[in-house]
Structures are given as C-alpha cells and as structure tokens.
Amino acid sequence: MKITEFEVPPMQDLLIIGRKAPVGPEAVRRMAEALSPDQFVIIKVEHPKIEAVLVRKTLFEMLDKDLLMSIVLEEAEGLINETMVLRSELKVAISVQREVELH
C-alpha cells in the first residue's frame, strides 16, 4: 500500500478523508463523480481521525469490503491527522502455489 499527500489529479484508488479536512466526503464524492463517473464510492467510517474513505469500486471485486476497510484504516491511522486528505494506491497481488504429481 502506498500513501501520499493529496494532490492534483486527486484520484488513484483511495482518498482517506480526515474528520476536519477542508473538503468533506460529499464534496469528494461529487468531485469523483465529475472526473470518473460511477467509478468510486464513499464509505463513511467510525474512527477518531478518519471520517470517510473514497474507494475505487473495482477494489471491492477483488477484496471483501470489511477486510479492505480494516487494512486501509490500520495503515492510515499512524499517518493521518483530522485535517488531512490522503491519496492512496492499492495494489493487489495474488500468489498461487500448487503441488502436482509427476508421472
């Protein structure tokens, strides 16, 4: 997981919105909809520093929503304060290992 400060262009895979950030979840949702229609969803969270997370919808096709949100909150918690908006890139890698019998 890669986390950086919010900058333009604003979208990668996630935006993590602090509780007292200068831009709120509804404004972020509208911005995402204007720039990338039907690609993102806002997830409001119960967290002391984080109000919501804007998530690329395709991530929920690869990972369970609760698992993804748990990972995001755990990783961002030490970096974010209430006034920040963090941009994050999330890469999912799958490793498959098989044992086969050779004849």
Sign of CA pseudo-dihedral 86, 27, 23, 21? negative
Residue recorded with tokens 């991530």: 59
Greatest alpha-carbon span in the chain: 65
* Predicted pLDDT of residue 92: 83
Structure confidence at residue 9 (pLDDT): 52
Q: What are phi and psi of 30, to 5 degrees?
A: -65, -40
Q: What is the dihedral of CA 59, 61, 67, 73, to 10 degrees?
A: 20
Prediction pTM value = 0.80
Q: What is the pLDDT of residue 91?
A: 86
- pLDDT at residue 12, as a whole number: 80
| pLDDT at site 11 | 63
- Spans of the chain, pLDDT less than 70: 5-11
